[in-house]
């Protein structure tokens, strides 16, 4: 159900009150929240695109400043500032900025609020960078990424920010990749190569999303965590379907691709399962991920096994017919069973 912004806020408050008073269960509250969608006009969508551009430009600006060591050194020498002083100034500015934005939260749209949160998060990371420069923390094994994860996670929860939550997930991903590489033996971490370990990591992120839906304080980012988990999981599984679980490219290049065919089958069945789940429970994102990676799996297998031997036109004709058949079956199923209620 799509409603106007004022109605959407009123319904959200009502659902929260009903849940706190025990009139509806947590699962029922989740279903109601999922069923209520904010109606967006063209102006709102265009405004969101501009806010996304603003976030991107802000990140790029900060990145350019920190990459340019000469600029930083000129600023430091001109003002005669030590690393600790810069860290303290950044921390104070970040705290003041977060306090100011949080106080005026009701006056901002959701995209505008997230842009301001990204700016505050970058200021906080600036403070952390300069603390690490003087203390030496994070100099080895990317401890900085772990500290950044903890800081962004705390800020995201306290400030109710989805953008900072995404930043926390990215920081933790970076730390996990660096830590698992550091602890690996023959490029294997707990017997897993890079694609395999991130496939497992994606499963853990999806499991975290399931737990989040049962914690009221964290439920506002449950969908983001779930989508991030799907992206990590399917991307890792795609890599496994190509490289298997071999520890090096030399080892992988010495075996025939049929040795990793089982991984391709698992990848295809998993994507098909996600596609079916998305259709059954009207989860558009899961459905789209399933379709995309199912097609990607077929294309990958074609280039691996049939590029040199099979007629290209025949392959794509078979691919088109197969997806036309799937589309027809989905359309028939929808007409036969009608619309299902969405799930959290």
What's the pLDDT tens digit per position in 149-178? Answer: 999 999 999 998 888 999 999 999 999 988
Residue with tokens 């036109």: 313
Distance from C-alpha of 260 to C-alpha of 257, rounded to nearest angstrom: 6
Most confident of 5-9, 14-18, 335-339: 14-18
Decide if 276 contacts 287 (C-beta within 8 A). no
The torsion defined by the Cα of 48, 53, 55 and 61, in degrees rounded to 10, comes to: -170
pLDDT at 77 > cutoff 90: no
Q: What is the pLDDT of residues 269-313, one digit of tens each?
A: 999 999 889 888 888 889 888 888 888 888 777 777 665 665 666
Distance from C-alpha of 197 to C-alpha of 176, rounded to nearest angstrom: 9
pLDDT at 332 > cutoff 70: no
Average pLDDT across the chain, whole number: 78
User: What mean pLDDT do residues 134-156 have?
Assistant: 79
CA distances from 37 to 4, 25, 130 (A): 9, 20, 43
Q: What is the pLDDT of residues 179-226, one digit of tens each?
A: 888 888 888 888 888 899 999 999 999 999 999 888 888 888 889 999
Return the CA Rg of the chain: 24
Is the model more confident about 244 or about 6? 244
Who contacts 284 (Cβ-Cβ below 8 Å, separation ≥6)? 278
Kindly state the tokens that stand for 78.
């001109």
Distance from C-alpha of 19 to C-alpha of 28, rounded to nearest angstrom: 9
């Amino acid at each position: 159900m799509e409603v106007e912004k004022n109605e959407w806020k009123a319904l959200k408050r009502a659902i929260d009150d009903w849940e706190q008073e025990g009139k509806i269960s947590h699962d029922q509250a989740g279903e109601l929240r999922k069923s209520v969608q904010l109606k967006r006009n063209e102006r709102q969508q265009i405004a969101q695109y501009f806010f996304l551009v603003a976030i991107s430009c802000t990140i790029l600006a900060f990145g350019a400043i920190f990459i340019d060591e000469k600029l930083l050194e000129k600023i430091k020498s001109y003002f005669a500032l030590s690393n600790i002083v810069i860290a303290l100034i950044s921390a104070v500015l970040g705290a003041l900025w977060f306090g100011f934005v949080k106080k005026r939260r009701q006056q901002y749209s959701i995209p505008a609020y997230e842009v301001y949160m990204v700016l505050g998060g970058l200021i906080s990371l600036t403070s952390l960078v300069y603390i690490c420069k003087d203390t030496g923390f994070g100099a080895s094994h990317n401890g900085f990424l772990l500290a950044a994860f903890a800081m962004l996670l705390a800020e995201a929860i306290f400030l109710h920010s989805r953008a900072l939550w995404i930043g926390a997930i990215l920081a933790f991903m970076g730390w996990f990749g660096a830590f698992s590489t550091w602890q690996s033996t023959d490029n294997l971490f707990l017997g897993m190569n890079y694609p395999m370990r991130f496939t497992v990591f994606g499963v853990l992120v999806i499991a975290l999303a399931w737990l989040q839906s049962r914690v009221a304080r964290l439920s506002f980012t449950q969908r983001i965590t779930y989508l991030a988990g799907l992206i990590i999981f399917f991307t890792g599984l795609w890599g496994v379907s190509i490289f298997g679980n071999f520890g090096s490219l030399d080892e992988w290049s010495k075996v025939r691709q049929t040795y990793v065919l089982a991984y391709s089958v698992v990848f295809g069945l998993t994507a098909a399962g996600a596609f079916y789940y998305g259709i059954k429970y009207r989860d558009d994102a899961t459905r789209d991920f399933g379709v995309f990676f199912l097609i990607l799996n077929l294309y990958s297998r074609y280039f691996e096994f049939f590029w040199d031997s099979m007629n290209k036109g025949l392959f794509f004709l078979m691919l088109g017919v197969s997806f036309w058949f799937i589309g027809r079956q989905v359309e028939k199923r929808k007409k036969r069973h009608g619309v299902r209620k969405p799930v959290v």
